[in-house]
Homo-oligomer: A and B are copies of this chain.
Amino acid sequence: MPQITRRMTLSINAIVWGENIHEQTNAVVREIYPDGMHNTIAAALNSDPGIDATTATLQEPEHGLSETRLAAADVLLWWGHKDHGAVDDAIVERVAKRVWEGMGLIVLHSGHFSKVFKRLMGTPCALKWREAGERERVWVVNPRHPIAEGLGENFVIENEEMYGEQFSVPEPLETVFISWFAGGEVFRSGLTWRRGAGNIFYFRPGHETYPTYHDATVHKVLRNAVKWAYNPQGTYKAIHDAPNVPVEKALEPIVERGPRLHRAGEAGYR
Contact = CB atoms under 8 A, between A and B. Distances in A.
B240 A124 contact: yes
Interface in A22-37: 22, 26, 28
Interface stretch (A57-65, A67-75, A213-221, A245-253): A245-253
Contacts of A48: 1
B268 A129 contact: yes
A261 interface: yes
Contacts of A239: 124, 126, 143, 166, 168
Contacts of A186: 139, 141, 178-180, 186
A184 B181 CA distance: 8
A134 B251 CA distance: 13
A137 B251 contact: yes
Contact of A260 (B110, B131, B180, B194): B131
B120 A233 contact: no
A25 to B, nearest CB: 10
A137 B180 contact: no
A132 B254 contact: yes
A137 to B, nearest CB: 6
Contacts of A268: 113, 129
Total copies of the chain: 4
Given A133-B260, A146-B233, 4 more contacts: A110-B269, A129-B243, A130-B245, A184-B251
Given A84-B269, A159-B258, A166 B143 contact: yes
B168 A250 contact: no
> How many interface residues does chain A have, given as a range?
35 or more
Contacts of A134: 250, 254, 257
A6 to B, nearest CB: 11
Nearest to A150: B233
A231 interface: yes
Contact of A132 (B81, B102, B131, B256): B256
Contacts of A129: 242-245, 268
Interface in A15-51: 22, 26, 28, 48-50
12 contacts: A1-B49, A4-B8, A83-B269, A131-B261, A133-B260, A141-B165, A142-B166, A143-B236, A153-B166, A173-B173, A179-B186, A183-B254
A85 to B, nearest CB: 8
Contact of A197 (B82, B143, B233, B240): B143
Contact of A50 (B4, B236, B238): B4
